[in-house]
Structure 1
């Protein structure tokens, strides 16, 4: 089973490992990390937002942290940023809630990884389908698409 995210990593010859938790009842990112026996600080969730300007932004943060929407808005010179409605995720990105990968969305959105991604030789994100996480070397994806690394979580 290959997802769009995996196909993109394959096409760029970026090595990754697929971690399958599809046979568990894990729902939250923390549950997923626990089921996989992973450090919650190196398992990341992909959050898609919309600003008052109607522009969409993507934030990739550890599953045990919360996106600071006010900090994100200030960073982007936006008046306000909110999470998009769950029903808007699939048409906008091509991914469903719980299976949204930062790789292979329908469009390229301005994307930010939390600074802690730099603390690990490898991190994990959704593999593009609920039940699958992909583990990869963060440095290997820096040329895959344009993203920034910022402190974007609540203190």
Structure 2
């Protein structure tokens, strides 16, 4: 299993694993997951890594159908500006490949912000640590295990 699944098991989170056949030509990993698993896109969340103006990496977890609002993310972090982190830096820092970056069990634990829409869901789906693998769990358990905060970070 992946580090994300191993951590969920170790923390005794209420989780379920969902696997599907990943299509390498899929334009959006998150939308592909929602489609192949027959889930509403609002329940499937993507993991993005941004860099602050202080050159610190931070994780944003948001619905796959939405776009990260950089100004709102910066405000949630109390900094002036954020931008997408370099993909190679993301892979090195997280230990995961793009399209399979899980917010759980990254090599370097980073501050994390989860979009506040997650709080209204019984469960959400995030990457389980590789393309074609999703982990479903209650949003509050995800937030607690990451010491994450909820905020409005989308357009």
Same fold (TM over 0.5): yes
How many residues align structurally? 153
Distance 1:106 1:23, change over 3 A: closer
- Cα RMSD of the aligned pairs, angstroms, is 1.4
1:145 CA drift (Å): 2.5
- Within a 5 Å distance, the mapping from 1:4-153 to structure 2 comes to 4-24=3-23, 26-28=26-28, 29-153=30-154
TM-score (norm 2): 0.92
In structure 2, C-alpha distance between the alignment counterparts of 1:6 and 1:104, rounded to whole Å: 8
Which runs of 5 or more residues in structure 1 are unaligned? none
TM-score (norm 1): 0.92
In structure 2, C-alpha distance between the alignment counterparts of 1:16 and 1:24, rounded to whole Å: 24
Q: What's the secondary structure of 1:128's corresponding residue?
A: strand
Distance 1:82 1:142, change over 3 A: closer
1:79 CA drift (Å): 2.3
